[in-house]
Amino acid sequence: MATNTLPSRSLLAAPAQHPGLRLGTSLRLSLSLSHHNQPADDPERRRAPVGSHPAFSRGNRAKKIPVPTTGEPAAGIRVTDRGLAYHLEGAPFEFQYSYTEAPRARPVALREAPFLPFGPEATPRPWTGRKPLPKSRKELPEFDSFVLPPHGKKGVKPVQSPGPFLAGMEPRYQAASREEVLGEPLTRDEVAVLVKGNLKAKRQLNMGRDGLTHNMLENIHAHWKRKRVCKIKCKGVCTVDMDNVCQQLEEKVGGKVIHRQGGVIFLFRGRNYNYRTRPVFPLMLWRPAAPMYPRLVKTVPDGLTSDEATQMRKRGRQLTPICKLGKNGVYANLVKEVREAFEACDLVRVDCSSLNKSDCRKIGAKLKV
């Protein structure tokens, strides 16, 4: 008996050779007869060809748009050293798709014409999605954190009151700045109580490879609406620099990181937080295409020649990896391990075989900085 030298192809061809999977003769005959018995197409009954919308045509989309050296590429859009930034009147800061994972380099080109991704009224390109839902005729009272529903009311989810407040401390209803919302610093006992009540909580916010995105700002306020602490679980590339994630959270949302354990962050809303007076951010209805950046990992690093870089890569392949990074893991200790390895050797190898190529390049760029 001859052995099969192509096992993969034999598996693909196995269903066709199985007798139970063959199409029956009567069934094939009925299918062929039904196909031949169909009436001819009446030219009068044919539908007129529908013209395709220019928004769906791929041929008209520019694959590479040069970045203007002066001015703005579009109204309210600015090209910065962290990618595209969107400026709206009255906004406390410039909006971005990701506040933590944008490369620290100026884009060299754009993949599509820049536009404001906040809604059909603000974008110059045609609206290709569904129409917005009409406003409800029923006027619902605006939620106020200082005026809570009665405890135990049927159909009402549990809501935590503002605070905690120490003895002799009065709540501030009209707190405007971040310092007024946070109030007095929390004591150790208060931090321990807040963290203990959320350690095993299933209600959490997940942060992935895109890091802190713009729409997550509104999600954090949705968590703060009913609880004093928002639990955020980070995985992937963003965990390499957890200090930057905590800094961006405090700057953009206004809370306070009271505890951090691995890739889990506990973000406190403040003693005088009121959901009614929170900052309201417009949601991004589209994900803007990422611009083209210069190479994150250069083929020839600065200060080395091409031959020296080649020889160094050959040496690196012979080294034993100090660790292996798993997909969607927590890499909070990676920087510390690399620094300790540099004390013994000038070349360090990290096994990233199970990661995507883009994630591997992002990690390499963060380690370089």
Specify the DSSP class assigned to residue 89: T
User: How many domains, the chain?
Assistant: 2
pTM for the model stands at 0.77
CB 207 within 8 A of CB 242: no
Domain at 185, CATH number = 3.30.110.60
One pLDDT digit (tens) per residue for the chain, 369 residues: 444 443 333 323 333 344 443 434 333 333 333 444 445 555 555 554 555 544 455 544 446 788 776 667 777 888 888 889 998 888 889 999 999 998 888 899 988 888 888 876 555 555 566 666 677 788 877 888 888 888 777 878 888 999 899 888 888 888 889 999 999 999 999 999 999 999 999 999 999 999 999 999 999 999 999 999 999 999 999 999 999 999 999 999 999 999 999 999 999 999 999 999 999 888 998 888 889 998 888 888 888 899 999 999 999 999 999 999 999 999 999 999 999 999 999 899 999 999 999 899 999 989 887
**Inside any domain, residue 345:** yes
CB 172: neighbour CB atoms within 10 A? 16
Nearest-angstrom CA–CA distance, 169 and 171? 7
Q: Is the dihedral of CA 249, 253, 256, 262 positive or negative?
A: negative
Classify each residue of 238-265 as buried b or exposed e, where b means 16 or more C-beta atoms within 10 Å of its C-beta.
bbbbbebbbebbeebbbbbbbbbeebbb
Q: Are residues 191 and 256 in the same domain?
A: yes
Ramachandran class of 358: left when φ > 0, alpha when ψ lies in -120 to 50, beta otherwise: alpha
Nearest-angstrom CA–CA distance, 148 and 254? 23
Q: Are residues 188 and 239 in the same domain?
A: yes
Nearest-angstrom CA–CA distance, 236 and 358? 12
The backbone torsions φ and ψ at residue 121, rounded to the nearest 5 degrees and listed phi first, read -75, -25
Nearest-angstrom CA–CA distance, 212 and 97? 8
CB 244 within 8 A of CB 100: yes
- 268 DSSP β-pair partners: 229, 256
**Inside any domain, residue 231:** yes
**Inside any domain, residue 318:** yes
Which of 268, 287, 318 finishes a domain?
268
Residue 81 neighbours by CB under 8 Å, 6+ apart: 104, 105, 106
Q: Are residues 182 and 236 in the same domain?
A: yes
**Inside any domain, residue 322:** yes
User: What percent of the chain is helix, strand and coil (3-state, nearest 5)?
Assistant: 30, 10, 60
Among the listed residues 261, 234, 251, 232, the one whose alpha carbon sits nearest the alpha carbon of residue 94: 251
What is the H or E stretch that residue 223 is in? Answer: helix 216-224
Q: Are residues 256 and 207 in the same domain?
A: yes
Q: Are residues 185 and 261 in the same domain?
A: yes
The backbone torsions φ and ψ at residue 104, rounded to the nearest 5 degrees and listed phi first, read -85, 65
Token pair belonging to 336: 């510390």
Domain coverage including residue 338: 306-367
Which of 268, 291, 320 finishes a domain?
268
Q: Are residues 258 and 318 in the same domain?
A: no
Q: Are residues 336 and 255 in the same domain?
A: no
Among the listed residues 315, 312, 306, 299, the one whose alpha carbon sits nearest the alpha carbon of residue 361: 299
Q: Provide the residue type at 334 as one letter.
A: L
Q: Are residues 193 and 241 in the same domain?
A: yes
Nearest-angstrom CA–CA distance, 102 and 274? 31
**Inside any domain, residue 127:** no
Which of 238, 268, 298 finishes a domain?
268
Q: Are residues 187 and 246 in the same domain?
A: yes
**Inside any domain, residue 63:** no
**Inside any domain, residue 359:** yes
Q: Are residues 196 and 263 in the same domain?
A: yes
Q: Provide the residue type at 175 as one letter.
A: A
For residue 289, the Cα-to-chain-centroid distance in whole angstroms is: 13
**Inside any domain, residue 291:** no
Place of tokens 């009954």: 45
